[in-house]
Amino acid sequence: MLRVVLGLSVLSCVLVTSSAQTCRNQTFSNRVFATCRDLPQLTAYLHWTYDQASGRLDIAFKHAGITSTNSQMEAQGTTLEEGAISYPVSGLSATFESNQVTIFATLTLPNGTSSLVHVWQDGPLSGTTPQEHSHETSHQNSKEILDLLSGSSTQATGNSRQKRRNTHGVLNAVSWGILMPTGAIIARYLKVFKSADPAWFYLHITCQASAYIVGVSGFGTGLKLGSDSEGVEYDTHRALGIVLVCLGTLQVFALFLRPNKDHRYRVYWNVYHHLVGYATIIISVVNVFKGFDTIEIYVGDRYNSWKHAYIGIIGALGGIAVFLEAFTWIIVFKRRKSENKIPHGANGVNGYGSRPQQV
């Protein structure tokens, strides 16, 4: 079944509550429609007549409960640019009276079309320029799959992009934002304990390798989201993601080029490995929050609980790191003190050697 996406946007300055009504008691001068439907959100109604044989669909979209103090609205003088769509539209007109906007149009749908996905919205004007609509639940749910023949509908959830967006966020937050810092904590603090050698090394490698693999997958989902969102740019978030993948790849190569402990270049490798590693962790955490900031622009505070959960996790990791930093330094100082102490009597009296006899 072919589904055609029909987007109908109604723009207003101020929204107010309207009196209850149904599409069946609405009439139009010189126009009669065969079917109508009370849309479930935003006090909106859709009337239509559809000839499946020719694909001709005559519609009237009505949005009630609107007041406007802007004369441009009443004159349909908004600066809304037309965009190309995949099927012909003719007879496009609109009226504004009795606090109701009605849009009329005739669409020619592809042969055999029996249903379509339609979306309706409203939003404010700034002068004569349409602004972004609200992200409240009623606006998020103002879409459905409409059967043009029976008049029935089912909810169009739009889960595909949302699932990809959620997948992208989870993969990157878990990999770059959690596993990477965890792997660094393991390497820095567990190796202080002699009993943890070489287990700490394999835990570190496992954690960082997993973070890199999952992170690259998350990066791929981000590229797909970007390609599917033409005209939407997340320059900073995207650039930081590219930098992270490059730094992570450098760390992978560093593993294969790691000199032996007694090699003269090992000290330089350590400096390189630590600098790149800490830079990766810092940029990772920053970019996770940048991702949250980016998504808030489009869906408001819907992901605040996710953001707060991540703040709690990264805060806990930071607290653990601070505690282990102090604890391991205490162990190191005690170990050095013990190693520097010479056993009693080993070199004369009190271990400090005997005084030479005077002749």
DSSP string for residues in 151-188? --EEE---HHHHHHHHHHHHHHHHIIIIIHHHHHHIII
The predicted structure's pLDDT at residue 173: 95
Integer CA distances (angstroms), 51 to 102, 107, 144, 234, in order: 22, 11, 21, 43
Which parts are annotated binding residues? 168, 204, 237, 273
* pLDDT per residue rounded down to tens, the chain (359 residues): 334 333 433 333 333 333 456 888 888 888 888 888 888 888 888 998 988 888 889 988 888 877 653 334 444 455 556 666 667 888 888 888 877 888 898 988 888 888 888 888 887 777 777 777 776 667 777 788 888 888 887 765 555 677 888 899 999 999 999 999 999 999 999 989 988 889 999 999 999 999 999 999 999 999 888 877 665 677 899 999 999 999 999 998 888 888 988 889 999 999 999 999 999 999 999 999 999 988 777 666 678 889 999 999 999 999 999 999 999 999 999 888 887 775 554 444 444 344 344 33
C-beta of residue 141 within 8 angstroms of C-beta of residue 241: no
**In Å, what is the CA distance from 232 to each residue of 43, 61, 64, 235?**
29, 28, 31, 9
What is the sign, positive or negative, of the torsion defined by CA atoms of 209, 214, 220, 223?
negative
Chain-centroid distance, C-alpha 108? 36
List residues forming the annotated binding site for heme b.
168, 204, 237, 273
Q: Write down the domain spans for the chain.
A: 3-155, 159-336
Pairwise CA distance, residues 236 & 288, whole Å: 12
Alpha carbon distances (Å) from 89 to 3, 120, 181, 191? 16, 17, 55, 69
Give backbone dihedrals phi and psi of 145, rounded to 5 degrees, phi first: -95, 120
H/E run at residue 292: helix 266-299
Which ranges of 76-115 would DSSP assign to H, the alpha helix?
none
The answer to whether 27 and 138 are in contact (CB under 8 A) is: no
Half-sphere exposure of 218 (CA within 13 A, CB side): 28
Quickly tell me which residue has 């043009």 as its tokens: 148
Domain 159-336 = CATH 3.40.50.880: no
